[in-house]
């Protein structure tokens, strides 16, 4: 019996299983292939355009690629928060991956800006109302893994908070609600209503689970943080919370504000204000930035 066979036998015996059953199963298993392992046929069948404009398929695939990139980022962040005693080497490696994925998100916006017919997009996008990229829940999950929810409240939101706000109250004043909530009337867009109905409970549950254990919390608990790790954290904060939304804003302006046309976003948000980092004021690691840098957030 080979060493590999012995190891397989020991593995299943330690699990209380009969190794012969598993070995016999291998005799009948088909060899794995690329298309089944990756799920290529399923993946390529997920594009369901609502119009006959050819570039709508590009639009759908672009956003599906974005969601996959965001899932890669969540995968890394989940490992960071689940690691009880993360070393600097571990954290630096994970931050390096997060920065690469974010750089891909930033560069991928060229597909949106220069990879679709301008006139066709401005027609087929009306068929997408009230759906909006605002409704990407993975953005919100990422934020919750990265930082304390208090850092997701902009200055205007902080003035509305009680002295000891609950997580539910914090969510009532979180920055992204400004995209679909009229604070004076209390009226919400359908886009925001549908989004909250589907995801808000899961956001609150995750925020409670992550209390004291976000990436920011891990940073604050460290006695000595190397210049290399600080640099990786600041790079991620800057790329994700300034560069990425600014590229998004400029791409939106390309289609919605060309020559002062001032078209409305499909989700009904005041996109010029909502997308800009100086209004969002989202910072994952505020302790790493000077007061001046925080005051000038997104203004460069």
Residue 38 lies in a domain: no
* DSSP secondary structure code for residue 178 in this structure: G
- How high is the pLDDT of residue 2? 79
Bridge partners of 181, per DSSP, are 188
Instruction: Please check the confidence at residue 66 and state whether its pLDDT lies above 60.
Output: yes
Residue 44 lies in a domain: no
**Residue found by looking up tokens 């998004």 in the block:** 248
Residue 207 lies in a domain: yes
Residue 58 banded pLDDT, cuts 50, 70, 90: very high
Residue 80 lies in a domain: yes
Which residues form the domain of 136? Answer: 54-295
Question: Average pLDDT, stretch 177-184?
Answer: 90
Question: What is the domain-level CATH number for residue 58?
Answer: 1.20.58
DSSP H helical segments within the chain, as ranges?
3-14, 19-28, 34-38, 40-43, 55-82, 88-114, 118-124, 137-146, 155-158, 167-172, 190-209, 215-221, 227-238, 244-256, 271-274, 277-280, 291-295
From the CB of residue 269, how many other CB atoms can be counted at a distance below 10 Å?
22
Lowest mean per-residue pLDDT among 101-105, 125-129, 199-203: 125-129
- How high is the pLDDT of residue 27? 85
Handedness of CA 254, 153, 135, 288 (dihedral sign): positive
Residue 37 lies in a domain: no
Residue 28 lies in a domain: no
Residue 94 lies in a domain: yes
Instruction: Please check the confidence at residue 52 and state whether its pLDDT lies above 90.
Output: yes
Total domain count, the chain: 1
Residue 270 lies in a domain: yes
User: For 112-158, how does the pLDDT look when each residue is reduced to its tens digit (9 = 90+)?
Assistant: 889 999 989 989 988 998 988 889 999 999 999 999 999 999 999 99
């Amino acid at each position: 019996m080979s060493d590999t066979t012995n190891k397989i036998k020991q593995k299943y015996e330690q699990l209380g299983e009969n190794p012969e059953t598993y070995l016999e199963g291998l005799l009948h298993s088909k060899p794995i292939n690329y298309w089944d392992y990756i799920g290529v046929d399923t993946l390529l069948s997920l594009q369901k355009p609502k119009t006959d404009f050819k570039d709508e398929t590009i639009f759908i695939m672009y956003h599906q690629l974005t969601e996959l990139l965001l899932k890669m980022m969540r995968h890394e962040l989940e490992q960071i928060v689940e690691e009880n005693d993360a070393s600097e080497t571990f954290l630096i490696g994970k931050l390096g991956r997060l920065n690469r994925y974010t750089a891909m998100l930033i560069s991928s916006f060229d597909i949106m800006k220069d990879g679709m017919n301008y006139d066709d997009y401005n027609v087929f996008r009306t068929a997408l109302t009230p759906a909006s990229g605002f409704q990407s829940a993975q953005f919100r999950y990422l934020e919750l893994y990265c930082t304390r929810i208090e850092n997701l409240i902009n200055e205007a939101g902080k003035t509305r908070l009680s002295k000891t706000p609950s997580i539910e109250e914090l969510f009532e004043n979180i920055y992204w609600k400004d995209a679909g909530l009229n604070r004076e009337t209390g009226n919400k867009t359908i886009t925001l209503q549908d989004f909250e109905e589907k995801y808000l409970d899961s956001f609150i549950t995750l925020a409670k689970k992550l209390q004291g254990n976000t990436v920011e919390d891990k940073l604050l608990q460290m006695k000595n943080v190397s210049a290399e790790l600080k640099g990786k954290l600041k790079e991620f904060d800057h790329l994700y919370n300034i560069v990425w939304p600014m590229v998004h804003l400029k791409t939106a302006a390309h289609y919605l504000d060309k020559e002062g046309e001032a078209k409305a976003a499909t989700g009904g948000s005041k996109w010029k204000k909502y997308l800009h980092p100086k209004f969002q004021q989202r910072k994952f690691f505020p302790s790493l930035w000077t007061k001046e840098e925080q005051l000038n957030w997104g203004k460069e």
